[in-house]
Amino acid sequence: MARLVLKFGGTSVADIERIERAADKVEREYRLGHEVAVVVSAMAGVTNQLVDYCRSIDPVHDAREYDAVVSSGEQVTAGLMALALQKRGVPARSWQGWQLPIICDEVHGKSRILEIPPTEVDARFKSEEVLVLAGFQGITRQNRIATLGRGGSDTSAVALAAALHADRCDIYTDVDGIYTTDPRIVPEARRIAKISYDEMLELASLGAKVLQNRSVEMAMKNNISVQVLSSFEDKIGSDYPGTLVTNEENIMENPVISGVAFTQNEAKVSILNIPDVPGVAAKIFAPISAANIIVDMIVQDISEDGNVTSITFVVPQEDADKAETVLKELDLLKTSEIRVNKNVAKISVVGIGMRTHAGVAEKMFKTLADKGINIDVIAATEIKISVLIAKDYTELAVRSLHAAYDLDQAPA
Ligand code: ASP
Ligand code: MG
């Protein structure tokens, strides 16, 4: 017998028929003798609709009332799920964030969970009754409802799993797991059976938008294994049909590379001819950070003559023009040239096996060179190597790297 938290995303509770199918899965786990809690999202499209309602009254609306409105979608599905379970003879009770309670901070619209008081949740969690929690929402210490940011019900589920010391948190969604790369680009992409928290965080931040990043951070902190699986298949979580995001120690055979990620929504900013004196980098990045622009892949050239240098970095595409504007206002850069290139893609290979294997970077560069793809910028962490290339070569690069690291082949 295990203790499980099952979370159903918007497409998995999109209508009554889908809610009934989700309830079937909950029932199967329950009948296997597991202790079960369920977390639900709003029906697909409902949250968007609620957000639009707020915006149509006033584009700059009060965030507390926004939360009062958008949290309502989950209230409906939690009640419906409890009804569907009761119809199956499974005792069930719905709970909203404030009732459990899920205590969160005052940052309305993007609130973070502060705590789930253990004695209260223990009092509400009964082994013979399925606890159905409305995801995405909690209550602030000011007694106001707050929501956890878009996609936040993943985080609700992991937080509940941590509070209940659950054995596993299953996230039912519309894909059957995490893939070695985007299958729309590489048909040979394979589902990954197990992946570490660190790798998942690197892949997620690169656009594999299956789990809210915060939920992975929370799972890592609390050592909760999270399984991503499809609610459209007949299998249930206890069959392990999906991708398990888990502690490195639970992964026996580490492939050197687990996945190839890419993003095309960034831009390269280059500043040429910068006077090479102490403090320039700090001066350049001060207004960028003041403008709340997130920077990645920073490269500064060695200045050959000791007089001028150049700096290149990457920013989200939507912030590129803002970055250019604030840099142009800097006295220091009066004689410099600022170039912005939005026609770029960032390709990354990610894998914890990199820590113990030599030659991973070399293989990446050689593979791209063989295809005649020029590398603009390189950045690396312990488990990720990223390169910036011209956008037109994205597919070719991803496909070639996927093959070069043998990701097309099932692991031996
Ligand atoms: N319903 C919320 C959203 O659409 C939360 C979630 O589904 O995770 O963002
Ligand atoms: Mg989601």
* Amino acid occupying residue 373: I
Mutate which of 136, 154, 160, 214 to test ligand 1's pocket (most atoms within 8 Å of Cβ)? 136
**Region 20-28 average pLDDT:** 98
Atom of ligand 1 at shortest range from CA of 151: 8
Q: Nearest Cα to 40, choosing from 136, 150, 158?
A: 136
Name the pLDDT band for 348 (thresholds 50, 70, 90).
very high
Name the pLDDT band for 206 (thresholds 50, 70, 90).
low
Q: Is the dihedral of CA 114, 249, 405, 233 positive or negative?
A: negative
Task: Say which residues have a Cβ less than 8 Å from residue 235's Cβ, sequence separation at least 6.
Answer: 229, 241
pLDDT of residue 72 exceeding 80, the answer is: yes
Domains defined along the chain, listed by start:
3-249 (3.40.1160.10), 260-404 (3.30.2130.10)
- Determine the pLDDT at residue 207: 53
CB-based burial of residue 412 (10 Å sphere; 0-12 exposed, 13-18 middle, 19+ buried)? exposed
Beta strands 243-246; 194-196: pairing state: parallel
Q: Which two tokens stand for residue 297?
A: 């892949």
CA 8, distance to chain mean position in Å, is 16
Name the pLDDT band for 208 (thresholds 50, 70, 90).
low
Q: Ligand 2 centroid to 187 CA: how many Å?
A: 24
Atom of ligand 1 at shortest range from CA of 41: 7
Q: Ligand 2 centroid to 9 CA: how many Å?
A: 6
**Region 177-191 average pLDDT:** 92
Name the pLDDT band for 253 (thresholds 50, 70, 90).
confident
Q: Nearest Cα to 16, choosing from 72, 89, 83?
A: 83
Output the 3-class SS for 132-155.
Answer: EEECCEEEECCCCEEECCCCCHHH
Name the region of 137 (left: φ>0; alpha: ψ -120 to 50; beta: rest).
beta
pLDDT > 90: percent of the chain:
88
Cα Rg, the chain, nearest whole Å: 24
Q: Are 388 and 344 in contact (CB under 8 A)?
A: yes
- Determine the pLDDT at residue 209: 72
Mean residue pLDDT of the chain comes to 94
Q: Which two tokens stand for residue 271?
A: 């500043």
Range 196-233 burial, b when 16+ CB lie within 10 A, else e: bbbbbbbbbebebebbbbbbbbbbbeeebbbbbbbbee
Q: Which two tokens stand for residue 411?
A: 């692991």
**Region 169-189 average pLDDT:** 93
For ligand 1, residues with CB inside 6 Å are: 9-10, 41-42, 47, 73, 135-136, 150-154
Return the residue matching tokens 């595409």. Answer: 317
- Angstrom CA distances, 266 to 122, 204, 241, 325, stand at 45, 15, 34, 17
Tell me the per-residue pLDDT of 255-306, one tens digit each, with 9 for 90 and over. 899 999 999 999 999 999 998 888 999 999 999 999 999 999 999 987 777 7
The reported pTM is 0.90
Task: Say which residues have a Cβ less than 8 Å from residue 372's Cβ, sequence separation at least 6.
Answer: none
d(CA 21, CA 26): 9
Tell me the per-residue pLDDT of 104-117, one tens digit each, with 9 for 90 and over. 999 999 999 999 99
Tell me the per-residue pLDDT of 36-58, one tens digit each, with 9 for 90 and over. 999 999 999 999 999 999 999 99
Question: Which ligand does the CA of 174 lie closest to?
Answer: 2
d(CA 49, CA 65): 15
Continuous H helices in 310-379: 320-328, 360-370
Name the pLDDT band for 193 (thresholds 50, 70, 90).
very high
Question: Which ligand does the CA of 46 lie closest to?
Answer: 1
d(CA 409, CA 323): 42
Phi, psi of 56, deg, nearest 5: -70, -25
Q: Are 240 and 192 in contact (CB under 8 A)?
A: no
d(CA 412, CA 129): 43
Please, what is the angle between helix 213-222 and helix 197-205, to 10°? 170
Mutate which of 150, 155, 212 to test ligand 1's pocket (most atoms within 8 Å of Cβ)? 150
Tell me the per-residue pLDDT of 378-406, one tens digit each, with 9 for 90 and over. 999 999 999 999 999 999 999 999 999 99
d(CA 305, CA 328): 24
Q: Ligand 2 centroid to 6 CA: how many Å?
A: 13
pLDDT of residue 156 exceeding 90, the answer is: yes
**Region 6-25 average pLDDT:** 98
- Determine the pLDDT at residue 412: 58
